[in-house]
Amino acid sequence: MLLFHSKITEFDLTKMKDLNLVELYELFTKLDALGHLDVDNEMCEYILQDPVIQSLLPIIHFSYSSFFSVHETHLAQKILNYENPWKMLQSFPMYPKYENLINVHFQNSLKIEVLAFIGCGPIPVTLLLFSKLYGIPCIGIDKDPEAAALAKKCVKHFGFEKIISIICGNETSLSKVEWNSVLIAGLAEAKSRIFQNVHKNT
pLDDT tens, N- to C-terminus, the chain (202 residues) = 666 667 666 666 566 556 555 666 676 676 666 666 677 778 778 777 888 888 877 777 777 777 777 778 888 998 999 999 999 999 887 788 889 989 999 998 878 999 999 999 999 999 999 999 999 999 999 999 999 999 999 999 999 999 999 999 999 999 999 999 999 987 778 888 988 888 887 7
Phi/psi region, residue 179 (left: phi>0; alpha: psi -120 to 50; beta: rest), is beta
Interacting residues of 159 by C-beta distance below 8 A, sequence separation 6+: none
Distance, in Å, from the CA atom of 67 to the CA atom of 59, rounded to the nearest integer, reads: 12
Q: Where in the chain is the domain with CATH 3.40.50.150?
A: 92-200
Task: Assign domain 92-200 to its CATH superfamily.
Answer: Vaccinia Virus protein VP39 (3.40.50.150)
Q: Which amino acid is at 194?
A: I
Measure CA 109 to chain center: 19
Q: What is the pTM of this model?
A: 0.77
Q: Are 59 and 1 in contact (CB under 8 A)?
A: no
Using alpha carbons, list the distances in angstroms from residue 166 to 108, 121, 161: 25, 10, 9
